[in-house]
Amino acid sequence: MSVMLKDKNILLGVCGSIASYKSAELIRLLVKAGANVKVVMTKDATSFITPLTLATLSKNPVLTDYYKAETGEWNNHVELGLWADIMIVAPATANTLAKFAHGLCDNLLSATYLSAKCVVYLAPAMDLDMWKHEATQQNISKLIGFGNQIIKPRHGELASGLVGEGRLAEPQEIMEYLNDDLKKKLPLKNKKALVTAGPTHEAIDPVRFIGNHSSGKMGFAIAEELASLGADVTLISGPTGLETSKKSIKRINITSAAEMLNACLDLFHQADICVMSAAIADYTPAEVATQKIKKNTKEFSIELKKTQDVLFQLGKQKKTNQILVGFALETNNEEEFAKQKLQKKNLDFIVLNSMNDEGAGFKKDTNKISIIDKKLIKTTFDLKSKTEVAKDICAKIISIL
Ligand code: CTP
């Protein structure tokens, strides 16, 4: 599934051309990529391919006119234009391109184009001489001037039997163009991010360990969101049993606090963004028994020694262009403790979870956070899914960048 197009609202305009049949395949690919697709057809397009085909594939009613003849209901082009995150017109005929270039709006498609505020991709299809004509080329230049993107027609055999430039780009090529273009626009493109997640396990003997309840869900959600925003993400994860849904995320599995420290020290210098959401053990057994400890004694105690605070070490190394984010999980004096950690560990901001908030904390799918920034300004967020919380945290990172 394409990360770029997932959950995007896509308005597909289909004009009357022999290439209209390719719109069916394009819709199928867009829907497969996770997009919500609505189709507006010109009247001529309905002579080439049926609205029923496109409605079935897009899973939405296809619109062809300003109003539904049966009910007299109005198809609101302004709402449609605002609904769309992306507008694509494929195939775009010479006639429709001319209308768009001159602001004519005598059908639902051209009126919707004028109302759309989103990025518009136009994939022309026409005979070679129509494409070459100065009128078409001037219209294309105008449309580029408006900020529209042209997915150029391809060279090949045309419906007229002539060979030349004018064939609609193949649906797969249109998809690749969209994906590449959307990637270029991502706010964290070319940024490297390091995220830690999950608990650590501190070995007592070969079969036992000291751990904590961290599920890793928050850190995984942050890694996924940073990747969706275009960052090149490395996720250092303690033992969680979770999988990332994005192949682009590089994952390093560690077990102990000492391994977490080494992995972070190895990678931190090249990170532009580092989010430390792992629940790293503060203490670890002073000695690890090489054999399983037998229950021979009535009482048993383990001597613990302090681990290194990874975040504190990274804070000491942090360069001014690096963003370092920490977490604080508190049960009392939350704000005060979080502010102390923020300053001591040299963070750009700290995400505060309170164990007192219902729905927040370990294992749950929801979280309730506050963010405290360097100026000690605190922003409190509602209880949300961890995916939504990750979005808030990443929005804060982008605002600092
Ligand atoms: N952290 C770390 N290394 C540790 C312990 C914690 O890097 N050995 C990081 C966590 O990833 C988190 C932040 O420090 O981002 C806060 O962890 P927390 O346990 O709440 O705070 P501590 O600094 O360990 O303080 P305390 O346990 O006294 O509350």
Task: Examine the domain organization and report whether 352 and 216 are in the same domain.
Answer: yes
Please check whether residue 28 lies inside any domain of the structure: yes
**Whether the model pTM is above 0.85:** no
| pLDDT score at 400 | 95
Containing domain of residue 252, as a range? 192-284+301-400
**Domain of residue 317, CATH code:** 3.40.50.10300
- How do residues 363-389 score in pLDDT, each as one tens digit? 678 899 999 999 999 999 999 999 999
Please check whether residue 291 lies inside any domain of the structure: no
Q: Tell me, in angstroms, the distance from the centre of ligand 1 to residue 358's CA.
A: 22
**Residue closest by Cα to atom 24 of ligand 1:** 282
Q: Calculate the alpha carbon distances from 184 to 18, 39, 190 in Å.
A: 32, 26, 9
Least confident of 27-36, 66-75, 128-137: 66-75
Please check whether residue 68 lies inside any domain of the structure: yes
Task: Examine the domain organization and report whether 342 and 237 are in the same domain.
Answer: yes
Among 184, 206, 235, where does a domain finish? 184
For a ligand 1 pocket test, name from 311, 325, 349, 350 the mutation site with the most ligand atoms within 8 angstroms of its C-beta.
311
| pLDDT score at 219 | 97
Among 153, 184, 215, where does a domain finish? 184
Q: Tell me, in angstroms, the distance from the centre of ligand 1 to residue 309's CA.
A: 7
**Residue closest by Cα to atom 4 of ligand 1:** 309
Please check whether residue 21 lies inside any domain of the structure: yes
Task: Examine the domain organization and report whether 45 and 169 are in the same domain.
Answer: yes
Task: Examine the domain organization and report whether 177 and 232 are in the same domain.
Answer: no
Please check whether residue 295 lies inside any domain of the structure: no
Task: Examine the domain organization and report whether 138 and 203 are in the same domain.
Answer: no
- How do residues 141-174 score in pLDDT, each as one tens digit? 999 999 999 999 999 999 888 899 999 999 999 9
Instruction: Report percent pLDDT > 90 for the chain.
Output: 86
Task: Examine the domain organization and report whether 262 and 341 are in the same domain.
Answer: yes
Task: Examine the domain organization and report whether 28 and 87 are in the same domain.
Answer: yes
Please check whether residue 252 lies inside any domain of the structure: yes
**Residue closest by Cα to atom 23 of ligand 1:** 341
Please check whether residue 314 lies inside any domain of the structure: yes
Task: Examine the domain organization and report whether 272 and 144 are in the same domain.
Answer: no
**Catalytic residue from among 9, 75, 76, 212:** 212
Among 163, 184, 205, where does a domain finish? 184
Q: Tell me, in angstroms, the distance from the centre of ligand 1 to residue 337's CA.
A: 11
Q: Tell me, in angstroms, the distance from the centre of ligand 1 to residue 305's CA.
A: 15
Q: Tell me, in angstroms, the distance from the centre of ligand 1 to residue 205's CA.
A: 24
Task: Examine the domain organization and report whether 235 and 324 are in the same domain.
Answer: yes
Q: Tell me, in angstroms, the distance from the centre of ligand 1 to residue 325's CA.
A: 12
Please check whether residue 290 lies inside any domain of the structure: no
For a ligand 1 pocket test, name from 330, 341, 343 the mutation site with the most ligand atoms within 8 angstroms of its C-beta.
341
Atom of ligand 1 minimally distant from the CA of 341: 23
**Domain of residue 116, CATH code:** 3.40.50.1950
Instruction: Report percent pLDDT > 70 for the chain.
Output: 98
Around ligand 1, the residues with Cβ closer than 6 Å are 257, 276, 278, 280, 282, 307, 309-311, 326-329, 341
Atom of ligand 1 minimally distant from the CA of 337: 29
Tell me if residue 212 is catalytic: yes
Tally of domains within the chain: 2
Confidence grade of residue 2 (pLDDT, cut at 50, 70, 90): low
Task: Examine the domain organization and report whether 132 and 241 are in the same domain.
Answer: no
Task: Examine the domain organization and report whether 252 and 389 are in the same domain.
Answer: yes
**Residue closest by Cα to atom 27 of ligand 1:** 282
- How do residues 232-250 score in pLDDT, each as one tens digit? 999 999 999 999 988 899 9
Task: Examine the domain organization and report whether 375 and 230 are in the same domain.
Answer: yes
- Judge residue 100's burial from the number of C-beta atoms within 10 Å of its C-beta, 0-12 exposed, 13-18 middle, 19 or more buried: buried
